[in-house]
Amino acid sequence: MSTHRPLYEYIDGVERLDCYRPGGYHPIQIGDVFQQRYRIIHKLGHGSYSTIWLARDEQIATYVAIKVGVAECHSKEVELLSRISAVAVKNREFGGNLIPPVWDRFNIDGPNGTHQCLVTALARCSLVDATNDGPFQLDVARSLSAQLAMALAYIHQLGYVHGDLHMGNILLQLPRLDHLSTQQLYDEFDSPEPEPVVRADKQPLTSPSIPTHVYSPIWLGKPSNEVLVPEAKILLTDFGTAFSPAQESRFDSYTPLHIRPPEVRFEPTRPLSYTSDIWSLGCTVWSILGVKPFLDEWIFGQDDITADQVDALGPMPDEWWETWQGRSKDFVGNGKPKEGRETWTFDRRFEDAIQAPRRRRGMEAMGEEERNALYQMVKGMLVFRPEDRLSVRQVLQTDWMRKWAIPEAERTWGRELH
């Protein structure tokens, strides 16, 4: 029986308070100033390895986002994203403008250690936050999907695998807010509301490791169904697990379990490569188009995930099947479910996740020709053997991309894209 007790009273919507410790988060308060220029205005969000803040660059009167990493994580993200950003500025190739520009980087020292900081552009919200109210309009979803593939093609061209591709790491770009004063920004969106940190034992806070107050994030977003095509510009973020296959052998995947490529489980000694991103891209495009992921995100076990993959995609490679010890629970043969067991086929998933939610809301659904083209593309990405998957360049050349998705992305950007 665990004797662990929480150190602090729970506060909904904020980072884990016990992670304010040596090696963890840096305690930050509204009004703090970094580098004698960046004044903290509001909270934007948090992750396991960072907190993200809205700041005003008082030297040039601009609002920026500052990502402050935990002290014990010396991520390669700052260096890698700086290189990608520099190449994008130099070459001006489309795709580079879908990666956050790095405007500044520095370290700060605090009671919990030294923290890497990255200054970049503000964003409206993540796609997963936007879709809490339902699906994007179909023309918007097409544009977002094409831009994501273009951003990934740009990264792959530079020799990197993203390594953590999912809806939470795709942001909608935000129109500039620099014309607003801080008070006007608060009036239009939200003022920070400090929540006092209280120890579970009711004793006073004595450690400098934890702030006296924490903050829920500001909402700069828009409901998905209200996003228009000209507003649907994305930023692909979070390069904390990105890597170069030519320079590093990576065997572990950091993507959520329900979109993790199957070779991680069945070929654990084979280094991951660009094809691992392709599997995640196929799953993410599906999520952008619908309201449910391709595979059930509420499945927690590896065997259940594998069974779900076989239900949707058919038989797995025979050598994988033979090594899968959990196969007898749901199947009598490779791709053959036990009698009476309900299976969710590809067609059924498409209707449930993409078509039916649109019809219920009176939104445009896909026609038969587009559906068939989408099937062909997605099935070319969600292939068990990684070497048989489409490359991202081939994805961009599919009928669905060329006829339906890329034209909408061109409407978003007001120009022809290559």
Q: Which of 128, 105, 114 is nearest to 45 (CA)?
A: 128
Cα 76 to Cα 3, 71, 114, 163, 218: the distances in Å are 36, 13, 15, 13, 28
Cα 381 to Cα 280, 286, 388: the distances in Å are 9, 11, 8
Q: Could you tell me if 122 and 65 are in contact, meaning their C-beta atoms sit under 8 angstroms apart? A: yes
List residues bridging with 66 in a β-sheet: 53, 119
Interatomic CA distance for residues 120 and 101, integer angstroms: 6
Q: Which residue bears the tokens 């991202």?
A: 392
Cα 221 to Cα 201, 232, 233: the distances in Å are 37, 12, 13
The gap from C-alpha 84 to its chain's centroid, in whole angstroms, comes to 18
Residue 236: count of CB within 10 angstroms of its CB: 21
Q: Could you tell me if 47 and 101 are in contact, meaning their C-beta atoms sit under 8 angstroms apart? A: no
The gap from C-alpha 151 to its chain's centroid, in whole angstroms, comes to 13
List residues bridging with 107 in a β-sheet: 116
- Residue 67 is labelled as binding a ligand: yes
Q: Three-state DSSP class for 168?
A: helix
**Binding site feature residues:** 67
**Binding site feature residues for ATP:** 67
